[in-house]
Structure 1
Amino acid sequence: MTDIVLRDVDDILADRIRRVADRRGWDLPHTLLHLLERGLHVCEDEGAVRFDSDESEVLQQALEALRGVPDDPGYSLIGRVRPPPGREGAES
């Protein structure tokens, strides 16, 4: 495995890395490797969340089930926004 050497790291960043290591009970090399791997995943995926096919199917089924919730004055309105008076049917 290649050694990773960080030079000219400011004190604040070094302290943040040490705090992660302390919280997790890891040594600094393990912590740096973990943070580098996670950071690469975020940069490569540009922060996108991806589901595998099983997760996507379950999520789609849950969304379909939610569409079937009857229109009542309470529960089914959670998360829905009614248009202001006089704007019913107006396009956004």
Structure 2
Amino acid sequence: MTEIVLHDVDQVLVDRIRRVADARGWTLPRTLLHLLEQGLHVYEGDGRVHFDNSESEVLQAALAALQEIPDDHGFAMIGKVPEQPVS
């Protein structure tokens, strides 16, 4: 694999990369590789968010579960202002 060396990187950016690595439990090289790959997908793609199969299946299951919630007048009115009669 080709070695990539970054010079003169802003410390704020280094800290952000290190936070991602720490949060994911990854090494810095693995984190940089992942961030580069994901960044390239954004620039090479059409800008839309894409889910992998497992994420897509979970989202579809959640949406299906939400569609099964019965329509009742109490729950459906949360956050809505009742219409006022016109005088």
Q: Residue 39 of structure 1 corresponds to which residue in structure 2?
A: 39
Q: Which moved more, 1:56-65 or 1:24-33?
A: 56-65
With the length of structure 1 as denominator, give the TM-score of the two structures. 0.54
- Per-residue deviation at 1:61? 4.3
Q: Residue 69 of structure 1 corresponds to which residue in structure 2?
A: 71
Q: Residue 81 of structure 1 corresponds to which residue in structure 2?
A: 80
Structure 2 runs not aligned, ≥5 long = none
Cα deviation code 1:22-55 (max 9, x no counterpart): 3333222111001112223344252435586866
User: Identity percentage over the alignment?
Assistant: 48
- Equivalents in 2 of 1:61, 1:48: separation in Å? 20
Structure 1 runs not aligned, ≥5 long = 88-92
Amino acid at match of 2:4: I
Amino acid at match of 1:41: H
Pair 1:18-2:15 in alignment: no
Aligned residue pairs total 83
Amino acid at match of 2:12: I
Query: 3-state DSSP class of the match of 1:69?
Result: coil
Amino acid at match of 1:46: G
Q: Which runs of 4+ in 1 moved over 6 A?
A: none
Amino acid at match of 2:33: L
With the length of structure 2 as denominator, give the TM-score of the two structures. 0.56
Kindly report the root-mean-square deviation, in angstroms, between the aligned alpha carbons of the 2 structures.
3.5
- Equivalents in 2 of 1:54, 1:30: separation in Å? 27
